[in-house]
């Protein structure tokens, strides 16, 4: 369904809401659409929570995006979405760029966040680093060669072991291609991610946080997850051996159990 989140501008976001229980908002990463959460991961969460998934501005059925924006702008979109859904607060899960958005959401409106899981993400700022996979992916997308972009996206987002499994690439391509993700919007997202910096503000972080990272993450090194958790008061940190950037794609059942346990703690 389309929900108008900014009546003054007419901007809308394309949203799915399903399940039962306490509200939970899932925030996707760069170049991803809401279908990339996967049926098994979503199905497990929807048995425990009322889950909202959405496409960022410029992606698939959400409002077009032609001008530069910041991660904080995307966090404001998420807050506006909570308002439009009538949710005073929600559990939040953000991965990669979505984890950056979730950080800004927690800092801008901590009262709206019941708990937060920050997956495969970074605080950015001085000392922050992105993995080589991130630059490979941006270059592949900028080439406007769809086959190259899809192959590269698969290779840099999963572990080497997972990438060797039969049918893995085909499944990834089918899911990724299900909704339109314009290359120009991904370039705007990449610019927003490179400018992201919450490092000096994380001492003000209030929501109960868990940070999760895969040891084989080529997009954002696991050292960034550990650094993020160290700066958030009371945050826990967990690193999964042999897992790439898309930890919920490689281990959907375990990822859903992790999110559920943290939200219900």
pTM, entire model: 0.96
CATH of domain 2-264: 3.40.50.1820
State residue 103's pLDDT score.
Answer: 98
| Alpha-carbon dihedral sign for residues 10, 16, 21, 26 | negative
Question: pLDDT of 5-57, one tens digit each?
Answer: 887 888 999 999 999 999 999 999 998 999 999 999 999 999 999 999 999 99
**Domain ranges across the chain:** 2-264
Report pLDDT digits (tens) over 114-136.
999 999 999 999 888 778 887 78
Given a cut of 50, the residues of the chain with pLDDT beneath it are none
């Amino acid at each position: 369904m389309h929900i108008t989140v900014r009546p003054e501008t007419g901007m809308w976001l394309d949203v799915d809401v399903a399940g039962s229980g306490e509200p939970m908002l899932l925030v996707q990463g760069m170049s991803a659409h809401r279908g990339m959460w996967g049926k098994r991961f979503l199905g497990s969460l929807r048995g425990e929570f009322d889950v909202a998934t959405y496409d960022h501005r410029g992606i698939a059925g959400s409002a077009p995006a032609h001008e530069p924006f910041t991660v904080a702008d995307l966090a404001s979109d998420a807050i506006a979405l909570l308002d439009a859904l009538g949710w005073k607060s929600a559990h939040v899960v953000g991965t990669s760029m979505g984890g950056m958005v979730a950080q800004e959401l927690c800092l801008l409106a901590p009262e709206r966040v019941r708990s937060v899981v920050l997956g495969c993400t970074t605080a950015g700022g001085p000392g922050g680093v992105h993995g080589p996979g991130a630059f490979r992916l941006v270059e592949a997308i900028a080439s406007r060669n769809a086959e190259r972009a899809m192959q590269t996206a698969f290779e840099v987002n999963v572990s080497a072991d997972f990438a060797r499994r039969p049918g893995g690439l085909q499944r990834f391509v089918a899911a990724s291609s299900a909704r339109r993700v314009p290359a120009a919007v991904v370039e705007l997202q990449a610019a927003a991610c490179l400018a992201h910096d919450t490092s000096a503000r994380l001492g003000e972080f209030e929501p109960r946080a868990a940070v999760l990272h895969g040891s084989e993450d080529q997009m954002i090194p696991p050292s960034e997850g550990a650094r993020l958790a160290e700066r958030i008061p009371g945050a826990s940190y967990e690193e999964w051996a042999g897992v790439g950037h898309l930890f919920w794609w490689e281990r959907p059942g375990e990822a859903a159990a992790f999110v559920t346990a943290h939200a219900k703690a």
